[in-house]
Amino acid sequence: MRIGSVALVGAGPGDPDLLTVKAARRLAEAEVVVFDRLVSDEILALVPAGTTRIYAGKAMAHHTLVQDEINDLLVSLARAGRRVVRLKGGDPFVFGRGSEEAEHLARHGIPFEVVPGISSASGCATYSGIPLTHRGLAHSVRLLAGHCRAGQPLDYDWPRLADPDTTLVIYMGLTTLPTFAAELTAAGLPADTPAAAVENGTTPRQRRVVGTLASLPERVAAAQLKAPTLIIIGKVVGLAGALDWFVRDGAQAGTAQAQA
C-alpha cells in the first residue's frame, strides 16, 4: 500500500480570494481535508464535493480534538494512502501549531509539505486600512500570543514591548486585552497610543473598533466583539480611516468604529 502525504496549507485570514494558487490546487487534489475552526465557510465551499472533511476545531477550553489526536490523525490518514490537506487559518507557521504537526509527521516518516498563507496579522490589518509599518511611524512589528498554555499568566518583557516605534499585533487577545493595556502603559507606552481591534477580518462580517491603548478595552467590550479578533497597537493605527479601501454593500468596512 502506498504511503499518502500531508500538505499543511494556510487558508489565509478568511477572504477566499486571498488563497494562494498552490493552496487552491492542493484543495482541489485532496482526498481528505482536516480543517480548523478559523477556516471560513467561503473557503470550505471550495473543497470539492465528495472530499472527506474532518473538523478539528479548537477554541478556548473546548477542543473537538486535542493536538496530540490531530497529530496522530494526520499520520493514520497518510499511512492509509490518503492525500491529506491540513487546512489552517492564516499561515500554518504563525501561531498555527503547524510546526508541531510537521515535526510529528517527520518523526513518523510521513511525506509532507507546507503551503504558506497570508497571515491574519497582514490580512486583517490591510483590510482595516492599517499598514503594519510606515515610514516615521513604525519600523518593526511584533506578533504576540494573547494567552499562554494552561491558563498561565502572560509573561512578557513588558518594557521591551513598550516601544512606541513598533507595531504590536496580538492574536487571541480578546480576554487579555485589559492586561496588555495595563502592563504596556505601566511599562511606559503612552496611554494615547492608537489601538484597534478587528473582528472577522477580510470577510463581509468584518468589524473594526478604533481607540487608544487606554480606551480600547472598554470600547471592545461595548461593541461585544467575538473571536476571531485581532488586536493592533501602535502609531500606524492612526492611519485607519484615511487609508480605508475595503468596501462591502457600498459602506465602509469598519462599521463598529470609534475614534479616540
- Measured CA to CA, the distance from residue 71 to residue 219 in angstroms comes to 39
Residue 5, helix vs strand vs coil: strand
Examine the fold and report which residue of 94, 115, 136 is the final residue of a domain before the chain moves on: 115
The gap between the terminal CA atoms of the chain, to the nearest Å, is 63
Q: Quick check: is 182 in a domain? A: yes
- Measured CA to CA, the distance from residue 53 to residue 34 in angstroms comes to 6
Q: Quick check: is 61 in a domain? A: yes
Contact 223, 194 (CB under 8 A): no
Summarize pLDDT for 47-74 with one digit per residue, the tens.
999 999 999 986 655 556 899 999 999 9
Residues 129 and 239 in one domain: yes
CATH value at residue 16? 3.40.1010.10
Q: Quick check: is 103 in a domain? A: yes
Examine the fold and report which residue of 115, 149, 174 is the final residue of a domain before the chain moves on: 115
Q: Quick check: is 257 in a domain? A: no
Residues 65 and 147 in one domain: no
Q: How many domains does the chain have?
A: 2
User: What cell numbers appear for 93 in the block?
Assistant: 507557521
Give the residue numbers spanning the domain of 209. Answer: 120-252
* DSSP symbol at 4: -
Residues 49 and 153 in one domain: no
CATH value at residue 246? 3.30.950.10
Residues 139 and 204 in one domain: yes
Return the active site residues: 36, 58
10 Å Cβ neighbour count for 46?
14
- Measured CA to CA, the distance from residue 85 to residue 54 in angstroms comes to 10
- Measured CA to CA, the distance from residue 78 to residue 194 in angstroms comes to 47
Residues 183 and 247 in one domain: yes
Contact 11, 23 (CB under 8 A): yes
Residues 71 and 180 in one domain: no
Q: Is 81 left (phi over 0), alpha (psi -120 to 50) or beta?
A: left
Q: Quick check: is 243 in a domain? A: yes
Contact 89, 11 (CB under 8 A): yes
Q: What is the pLDDT of residue 259?
A: 45
Examine the fold and report which residue of 115, 150, 185 is the final residue of a domain before the chain moves on: 115
The pTM of the full predicted model, rounded to 2 decimals, is: 0.92
* DSSP symbol at 152: P
Residues 188 and 109 in one domain: no
Summarize pLDDT for 143-179 with one digit per residue, the tens.
999 987 666 789 999 999 999 999 999 999 999 999 9
Residues 248 and 132 in one domain: yes
- Measured CA to CA, the distance from residue 71 to residue 102 in angstroms comes to 9
Q: Quick check: is 260 in a domain? A: no
- Measured CA to CA, the distance from residue 84 to residue 77 in angstroms comes to 7
Q: Quick check: is 258 in a domain? A: no
Q: What is the pLDDT of residue 251?
A: 40
Q: What is the pLDDT of residue 153?
A: 82
Residues 26 and 109 in one domain: yes
* DSSP symbol at 144: E
Contact 235, 164 (CB under 8 A): yes
pLDDT tens-place values along the chain, 260 residues long: 678 999 999 999 999 999 999 999 999 999 999 999 999 999 999 999 999 999 998 665 555 689 999 999 999 999 999 999 999 999 999 999 999 999 999 999 999 999 999 999 999 999 999 999 999 999 999 999 998 766 678 999 999 999 999 999 999 999 999 999 999 999 999 999 999 999 999 999 999 999 999 999 999 999 999 999 999 999 999 999 999 999 654 344 444 444 44
